[in-house]
């Protein structure tokens, strides 16, 4: 496809006890990451607690572009496109493999399971792909006659489906695709690059109706493997394969 600009790997659970108020928590995490060849710098971010009080939570950053945020009920592992960084090719197989390691270290350290898993990605299609999607969008027609006669040059479409994942005991998974025109600039970590094309977003997640903390590290690995397959299948559909 075009340019991958963001990946976010998320697990949901109870992480209230992983707090910066205990310095040993941060020290132990940094040590564990170091043992796995990841150097992180600790910082904090603000999150609103149940009593509406704003409190500090742990965030970990490194020079390769990783950012891990540990909230009360979710862990987000981010990788943004950086032109001159280690992961500038944004290979999702490599990045997801390492994201799972970063999540596993936290879950194993604090003996946690999770109740939801999600993969969010953002990419911008190249000109050929954007032109192809624009043409298909124009062909499908509109329920509003004005736009039949005056073809839109800006548009947005959101599609949501449910699939069943047999590797996760038949868990239902939302597969959400957002498509929209995009004209502007994006940061590449050094300066800004002009972009004129279609932005494609994926949000692939387990349904929130089951709050049981049932997913293990192996389940998380299976989920991200399947999520990548759904993403790839949809991308291939868009290319006409």
Q: Are 183 and 106 in contact (CB under 8 A)?
A: no
Q: Are 114 and 211 in contact (CB under 8 A)?
A: no
Residue 112 has pLDDT above 80, yes or no: yes
Find where tokens 């991308």 sit: 235
Residue 73 pLDDT: 95
Distances (CA, A) of 194 to 168, 191, 212: 41, 10, 45
As a whole number of angstroms, the distance between CA 130 and CA 73 comes to: 37
pTM exceeds 0.85 for this model: yes
At residue 119 the predicted structure's pLDDT band, cuts being 50, 70 and 90, is very high
Beta bridge partners of 67: 61, 78
Tokens representing 173 are 């998974």
Average pLDDT of the residues in 65-79: 96
| Per-domain boundaries in the chain | 3-238
Residues in Cβ contact with 7 at an 8 Å cutoff, skipping those fewer than 6 apart:
78, 79, 90, 92, 95, 96, 99, 119, 120, 121
As a whole number of angstroms, the distance between CA 142 and CA 139 comes to: 9
Residue 169 has pLDDT above 70, yes or no: yes
Span 183-224, pLDDT tens digits:
777 776 677 777 778 899 999 999 999 999 999 999 999 999
Distances (CA, A) of 51 to 47, 74, 188: 11, 18, 39
Percent share of the chain, pLDDT over 90: 66
At residue 153 the predicted structure's pLDDT band, cuts being 50, 70 and 90, is confident
Residue 43 pLDDT: 95
Q: Please work out, in degrees rounded to the nearest 5, the angle formed at the alpha carbon of residue 68 by the alpha carbons of 24 and 169.
A: 105
Average pLDDT of the residues in 156-160: 93
């Amino acid at each position: 496809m075009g340019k991958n600009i963001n990946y976010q790997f998320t697990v949901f659970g109870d992480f209230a006890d992983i707090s910066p108020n205990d310095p040993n928590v941060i020290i132990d995490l940094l040590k564990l990451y170091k043992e796995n060849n990841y150097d992180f710098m600790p910082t904090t971010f603000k999150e609103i607690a149940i009593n509406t009080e704003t409190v500090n939570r742990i965030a970990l950053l490194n020079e390769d572009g990783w950012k891990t945020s540990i909230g009360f009920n979710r862990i987000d592992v981010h990788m943004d496109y950086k032109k001159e960084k280690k992961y500038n090719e944004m290979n999702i197989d490599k990045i997801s493999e390492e994201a799972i390691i970063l999540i596993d270290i936290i879950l194993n350290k604090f003996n946690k399971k999770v109740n939801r898993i999600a993969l969010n990605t953002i990419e911008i299609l190249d000109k050929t792909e954007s032109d192809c999607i624009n043409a298909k969008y124009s062909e499908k027609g509109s329920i509003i006659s004005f736009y039949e006669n005056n073809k839109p040059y800006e548009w947005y479409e959101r599609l949501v489906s449910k699939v069943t994942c047999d590797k996760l005991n038949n868990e239902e998974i939302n597969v959400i695709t957002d498509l929209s025109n995009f004209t502007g600039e994006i940061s590449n970590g050094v300066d800004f690059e002009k972009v004129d094309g279609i932005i494609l977003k994926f949000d692939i997640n387990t349904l929130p109706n089951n709050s049981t903390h049932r997913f293990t590290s192996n389940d998380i690995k299976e989920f991200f493997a399947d999520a990548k397959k759904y993403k790839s299948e949809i991308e291939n559909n868009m290319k006409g394969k």
